[in-house]
Chain A
Amino acid sequence: MSTPNGWDKSAVSAIALELKDQPGALLLILRRLQDEIGYIPEQSVPVIADVLNLTRAEVHGVVTFYHDFRHHPPGRHVIRLCRAESCQAMGAVALARHIKGRLGIDFGQTTADGKFTLDPVYCLGNCACSPAMTVDDEIYGRVSAESFDGALASLEGRRQ
Chain B
Amino acid sequence: MTATLYVPRDSGALSLGAERVARAIAQEAARRKIDVAVVRNGSRGLYWLEPMVEAATARGRVAYGPVRPEAVPALFDAGFVEGHPHPLCLGPTEEIPYLKSQERLTFARVGVVDPISLDDYIAHGGYEGLQRAAAMSAAQIVEEVVESGLRGRGGAGFPCGIKLRTAMLTGSDQKYVVCNADEGDSGTFADRMIMEGDPFVLIEGMTIAAICAGATQGYIYLRSEYPHAARTLAEAIAAARARGYLGANVLATGKHFELEVRVGAGSYICGEETAMLESLEGRRGMVRYKPPVPAISGLFGKPTVINNVLTLASMPIILTQGGAFYKNYGVGRSRGTQPIQLAGNVRRPGLIEKAFGVTLRDIVYEYGGGTASGRPVRAVQVGGPLGAYFPESMLDVALDYEELAARNGLLGHGGVVVFDDTVNMAEMARYAMEFCAQESCGKCTPCRIGSTRGVEVIDRIIARQDQSGNLALLRDLCDTMTNASLCALGGLTPLPVLSALKYFPRDFGLGDDAVSGLH
Residues on A lying within 8 angstroms of B by beta carbon are 23-28, 30-31, 34, 61-62, 65-69, 82, 84-90, 121-130, 132, 137, 139-142
> Known contacts A31-B265, A129-B47; can you find 4 more A-B pairs with CB under 8 A?
A27-B283, A65-B285, A122-B439, A142-B15
Q: Does B12 contact A (CB under 8 A)?
A: yes
Q: Out of A66, A88, A123, name the residue touching B184 (CB < 8 Å).
A: A123
* B423/A89 in contact, CB under 8 A: yes
Q: Which of B132-140, B223-231, B475-483 contacts A (4 or more CB under 8 A)?
A: B223-231
* B265/A127 in contact, CB under 8 A: no
* A130/B344 in contact, CB under 8 A: yes
Q: Out of A66, A67, A89, name the residue touching B420 (CB < 8 Å).
A: A89
Known contacts A24-B262, A122-B268: does B189 contact A127 (CB below 8 Å)?
yes
Q: Out of A23, A68, A139, name the residue touching B281 (CB < 8 Å).
A: A23
CA distance A86 to B188 in the complex (A): 9
CA distance A28 to B268 in the complex (A): 18
What are 13 residue pairs bridging A and B, where the CB atoms are less than 8 Å apart in the complex? A23-B281, A23-B300, A26-B283, A27-B265, A62-B282, A66-B285, A85-B428, A89-B344, A89-B417, A128-B341, A128-B351, A129-B12, A142-B16
Q: Does B381 contact A (CB under 8 A)?
A: yes
Report the interface size for chain B: residues with CB under 8 A from the other chain: 61
Known contacts A85-B187, A123-B184, A126-B12: does B344 contact A30 (CB below 8 Å)?
no
Q: Out of B12, B381, B435, B438, name the residue touching A141 (CB < 8 Å).
A: B12
Q: Does B419 contact A (CB under 8 A)?
A: yes
* A85/B265 in contact, CB under 8 A: no
* B372/A90 in contact, CB under 8 A: yes
CA distance A139 to B413 in the complex (A): 23
* A86/B16 in contact, CB under 8 A: no
* A122/B349 in contact, CB under 8 A: no
Closest to B348 in A: A128
Q: Which 5 A-B pairs have the closest CB atoms?
A: A84-B186, A141-B15, A127-B343, A66-B265, A26-B282
CA distance A44 to B348 in the complex (A): 48
Closest to A52 in B: B282
CA distance A26 to B48 in the complex (A): 41
Contacts of A137 in B (CB 8 A): 227
CA distance A122 to B183 in the complex (A): 11
CA distance A145 to B281 in the complex (A): 42
Contacts of B419 in A (CB 8 A): 89
B195 CB → nearest A CB, Å: 10
Chain B residues numbered 405-435 whose CB sits less than 8 Å from any CB in chain A: 415, 417-420, 423, 428, 431, 435
* B16/A129 in contact, CB under 8 A: yes
* A122/B186 in contact, CB under 8 A: yes
* B431/A66 in contact, CB under 8 A: no
* A62/B283 in contact, CB under 8 A: yes
Known contacts A31-B263, A84-B187, A85-B381: does B372 contact A68 (CB below 8 Å)?
no
Q: Does B23 contact A (CB under 8 A)?
A: no
Chain B residues numbered 317-371 whose CB sits less than 8 Å from any CB in chain A: 341-345, 349-351
Contacts of B224 in A (CB 8 A): 31, 68
Closest to A69 in B: B265
Closest to B269 in A: A65
Contacts of A89 in B (CB 8 A): 343-345, 417-420, 423
Q: Out of A28, A34, A87, A139, name the residue touching B15 (CB < 8 Å).
A: A139
Q: Does B144 contact A (CB under 8 A)?
A: no
Contacts of B300 in A (CB 8 A): 23
Q: Out of B192, B280, B349, name the residue touching A125 (CB < 8 Å).
A: B192
Closest to B423 in A: A89
CA distance A69 to B284 in the complex (A): 12
Digit string of B182-202 for contact with A (CB within 8 Å is 1, else 0)?
011111110110000000000
CA distance A127 to B11 in the complex (A): 11
Contacts of A66 in B (CB 8 A): 264-267, 285
* B265/A139 in contact, CB under 8 A: no
CA distance A121 to B266 in the complex (A): 9
* A34/B265 in contact, CB under 8 A: yes
Contacts of B343 in A (CB 8 A): 86, 89, 127-128, 130
Contacts of A123 in B (CB 8 A): 184-188, 225
Chain B residues numbered 358-406 whose CB sits less than 8 Å from any CB in chain A: 372, 381, 385
Chain B residues numbered 159-195 whose CB sits less than 8 Å from any CB in chain A: 183-189, 191-192
Closest to B415 in A: A127
* A122/B284 in contact, CB under 8 A: no
CA distance A30 to B266 in the complex (A): 13
B278 CB → nearest A CB, Å: 9
Contacts of B207 in A (CB 8 A): none
Contacts of B185 in A (CB 8 A): 123
* B349/A85 in contact, CB under 8 A: no
Closest to A59 in B: B282
Known contacts A65-B285, A68-B266, A121-B225: does B418 contact A128 (CB below 8 Å)?
no
